Amino acid sequence: MQKTIQQLEKSLEEILVELGDVSERGYEFACQHEELRFLMESENYSRCRQLAKILLQQRPNFVPILNNLSQVECLEGNLAQAIETGLKVLEIEPQNIHALSNLTRFIFMLGKRDKASVFAKQLKDSNAPAADRWVKKAEALSFIGNDDDVLALLGQAKNAKEVDQLNEMIWHWFAVAEYRKGNHSKARSYWQKCAKLAPYFELADKNLTELKKPLHERICPQAFSIENWIPRKTLETLTSSVEHAARKKNDDAFRKEVSEYFDSHPEFIQFIPAALTSGDEMSREFALQIADMSSHPAILDALKVFALGQEGSDSLRLDASQILSKHGVLKSGEMVDLWLEGKWKPIMMMGFQISYDPPERPTLKPAAQHLMEKAVYALRAENGGEAESHLRKALEIQKDEPGLLNTLAVALSMQGKHDEAEKIAGEIPTRFPDYFFGQVIAVRKAIQAGELEKAKPILDRMMQKPELHITEFGAMCACQIDFMIEDDKPEGAVSWFEMWQEGYPDDPALKDYEDRIAMIEVFTKLKNGFLKSRRKNKKREN
């Protein structure tokens, strides 16, 4: 309590000196200014703005109040007004450290990096007196990623014999800068210093925990949390806009409205790349959600740079790549090189989601559905005759149902009635072009005929379906493997088999491919070994 009283007395003394008025009137003004700071810290922004207006009527050019008001405007989501107020401070005091720091951050949040750099340079060079000057300099310089300038502050503080004024936040920014520069050991020592200075400081603890993990699993550095970039008020307006957009009739209309919101709030667009590389875990997850929800072009561009780069954890970049595939930035079915476990690896993009639930609107009538289920059980028991009987009864109830016809073809084939099975299966793609398993039949038929150019567009169309039932996923994997083998792309066949195993390990059809894939892997290893041996022999000959 005594320490707090001493701090308050010191603050009042500093304000009175700056006012140049030690009278009762000056003392009252100083007390109200302290109340203003308390209101801001208590997040009572409305009352804070009202009091600031009253005080500025008495002293229009009192810089501390203008700086506080600038920060309040930012916290209320009014970046333009926050910048205008900060610029007014510079008209009064061109080297004011608090205003330069605020302006550097606010303008950077709008995406005006070059302009922000101008203020950052002025901030770095300013020798103006200011409370918490080391904090305000380090905060802004770290925010815009000027790591060398952040670290230079340590030397300046040592020369000024003010290292004891550096609090846990400044040491945290030193650690972030060292980590970004690849000096992980130094970063660890600085975060440990943070933890000693302030054991309650979560970011230091989180980063120290991440440093214990392998490099490709780390979410590090965690430089800031969401509220350090996106004020609560702005998050509330986003939530309101999303809820309003959710009333739209379709996904395209929803995304259009959300995207328009981000156009009018560029701080979100700038938040994405910063959060993915330097945000805490919640910030990074939130950035992915924003990208997926809005499909805003600028946001997806930033997501692509991150996904195809080397920063961040492998899992986060994989998630980013799948969002890009979902929105068509990376083509579904395309092989893309991603940095995984410290090296580049080709990864298949999948722009679809896998559903394990039955369709919400069943296509079969209840009686036909019941017979279909009996048929499926019979097929699992390898009793094709019983399955055929159930299916023919079901077709009497619902004659133009492709699922029933396709399953009947399977039952007939199981009994050796291949001609009839092929006739029924061959008619399905023509009669029901949108039926997924009809497309499977068409692909298999084209591959068996060696007509890969005919099979490829059908496979591509299958890949564009936004959601696949697990059984559809298994069938498509089998088709892709057959296509890759016929197209002499064994690595692609192995990749699809591995995805199949991971996505649908209980699919009985996997057994039909296990031996073939095992042989492909053996031959691939032998081939690679043979080529490597030949290269060595050629080097010796030369």
- Give the tens place of pLDDT for each residue, 489-524: 888 888 888 888 888 888 888 888 888 888 887 776
What is the residue-wise DSSP string for 192-221? HHHHHH-TT-HHHHHHHHHTTS-GGG----
Q: Which sign, positive or negative, has the C-alpha torsion 307, 309, 312, 314?
A: positive
Regarding whether 468 and 418 lie in a shared domain, the answer is no
What integer pLDDT is reported at residue 47 of this predicted model?
86
Residues 335 and 401 grouped into a single domain: no
Same domain, 125 and 30: yes
At residue 108, the pLDDT reads: 95
Evaluate whether residue 124 is within a structural domain.
Answer: yes
> Does residue 203 lie in a domain region?
no
Residue type, 403: G
In a domain, 443, yes or no: no
Q: Is 526 in the same domain as 497?
A: yes
Domain-embedded: residue 471? yes
**Domain identity same for 329 and 357:** no
Q: How far apart are the first and last CA of the chain?
A: 83
Domain boundary, last residue among 143, 170, 191: 191
Which class for 298: exposed (0-12), middle (13-18), buried (19 or more C-beta within 10 A)? middle
d(CA 322, CA 527): 32
Q: What does the pLDDT read at residue 22?
A: 45
| Rounded Cα gap, residues 21 and 27, in angstroms | 8
Per residue in 360-394, pLDDT (tens digit) is: 556 788 898 889 889 889 888 889 899 999 999 99
Buried b (16+ CB within 10 A) or exposed e, 313-334: bbebbebbbbbbbbbebbebbe
Displacement of CA 403 from its chain's centroid (Å): 38
* Domain extent at residue 373: 352-432
Same domain, 524 and 420: no
Q: How far is CA 383 from CA 364, 390, 394, 421, 517, in A?
A: 22, 11, 17, 16, 29
* Same domain assignment for residues 343 and 378: no
Domain assignment present for 212 = no
- Given 377, 400, 432, the domain boundary residue is 432
Structurally, the chain folds into a number of domains equal to 4
CA distance linking residue 162 with residue 97, whole number of Å: 17
Residue 98 lies in a domain: yes
CATH number at residue 369: 1.25.40.10
* Ranges of the chain with pLDDT below 70: 1-27, 358-362, 524-542
What is the reported pLDDT for 491? 81
Distance CA 53, CA 366 (A): 71
Q: Are residues 33 and 95 in the same domain?
A: yes
Element (H, E) at 329: none
Give the orientation angle of helix 297-307 with respect to helix 266-278, to 10 degrees. 10
Q: Are residues 92 and 118 in the same domain?
A: yes
Residues 64 and 179 in one domain: yes
Give pLDDT, residue 433: 83
Domain presence at residue 219: no
In a domain, 210, yes or no: no
Q: Are residues 36 and 179 in the same domain?
A: yes
Same domain for 423 and 467, yes or no, is: no
Residue 196's identity, in one-letter code, is: K
